[in-house]
Amino acid sequence: MLAGKYLILRELARGGCGSVWLAEDLHLPKRWAVKEIKKEREDQGMELKREAMLLGGRSHPALPVVVDFLDTEHFGYLVMEYVEGVTLAEAVRQRGVFSEEECLNLLCQLAEILRYLHELRPPVCYLDLKPANVLLTEEGRVVLVDFGAAMENEGAACRRGPCYGTYGYAPPEQCGELGMEAVCDQRSDVYALGMTIFFLLTGKDPGLPPFGLKSCIGWESMAGREFVRILKTCVEWLPEKRFQSMREVLVAAEGCMAEKRSAGVFQKRGGRIGRILCRVLPGKRRFVLRQEKSIFLTGKKRAGLSPFIDADGAV
């Protein structure tokens, strides 16, 4: 029991800095996700409080709503909206890589939420974008979680020490590879976005040898020329050679999608993610995304129905 009103049910996730628990609210008919941080260092409690302040008051469908912050002698707790879904990392492990169309769809969604953060006053840089920090809901919507590394920029840029973030997804200036005085700004998130989509397209972790785009030889053949150009521009080594804002990424990605649809490469699908997507959520029935209809058959809609097999063998 936490604070006399949150009944902890089970663990949802565990990371290097703490755990996330599913909790039932005894005062309201609601369930929340509770992020727990053990205060092994004096600054860890402040980091969680800063995360609460960054998310508190923000209103965006791709951001979890923060409802409470609790501070004890040895632990800090952040109570937020419980979003039912799987991370993009888990989705790749369960179902394999994403198609070019799916990647473009997710690229646009992630670029839009990062554009929102970057254009706040003061701007917010996320600084830890990776597949494990993005939830995919059963409707095909993405939700950005874990703002432990995020920073507000009072000026045009923010500075941090070297070697933080997640290697392979964090840009070179964030890992101290461009010098100790390198600046992290919105272009740092552009780099991480490119590497995240690269992982979804190839299934190769850019943080493992031989690192970066080289971790998948011949990956350019997995997508069209314009989409490959967009990813390569996102992950340029020097920030000044990348897209300079998320608006630029959105314009390029939406233009690429429109061009492919007009050429008949992609069918119009109302913004839904294509191809078959199978996954199992705790306490729910399996649901699928059928390629030919491109709609989610959720656990609720499928309740009581037996599994079926299409003529092409898709479950």
- Residues making up the chain, counted from first to last: 315
Give the burial class of 179: count Cβ atoms within 10 A of its Cβ; 0-12 exposed, 13-18 middle, 19 or more buried: exposed
Q: Specify the 3-state DSSP secondary structure of 143.
A: strand
Q: Which residues, 6+ apart, have CB-to-CB distance to 91 below 8 Å?
A: 98, 136, 277, 279
Distance of alpha carbon 21 from alpha carbon 78, whole angstroms: 10
Q: Is 128 a catalytic residue?
A: yes
Answer for the pair 93, 225: CB distance below 8 angstroms, yes or no.
no
Q: Which residues, 6+ apart, have CB-to-CB distance to 207 below 8 Å?
A: 166, 167, 168, 169
Q: What is the CA radius of gyration of the chain?
A: 20
Q: Got the DSSP string for 148-184?
A: TT-EE-SSS-B---SS-S-BTTB-TTTTTTT-TTPPB
Answer for the pair 16, 10: CB distance below 8 angstroms, yes or no.
no
Bridge partners of residue 167, in order along the sequence: 170
For 5-26, b/e burial (b = at least 16 CB within 10 A) is: ebeeeeeebeeebbebbbbeee
- Nearest CA-CA partner of 222 in 88, 110, 103: 103
Name the pairing type of β-strands 30-38 and 18-25. Answer: antiparallel
Q: Which is catalytic among the residues 68, 128, 205, 310? A: 128
Q: Which residues, 6+ apart, have CB-to-CB distance to 273 below 8 Å?
A: 98, 101, 102, 105, 106, 140, 289, 294
- Which residues are the active-site residues? 128
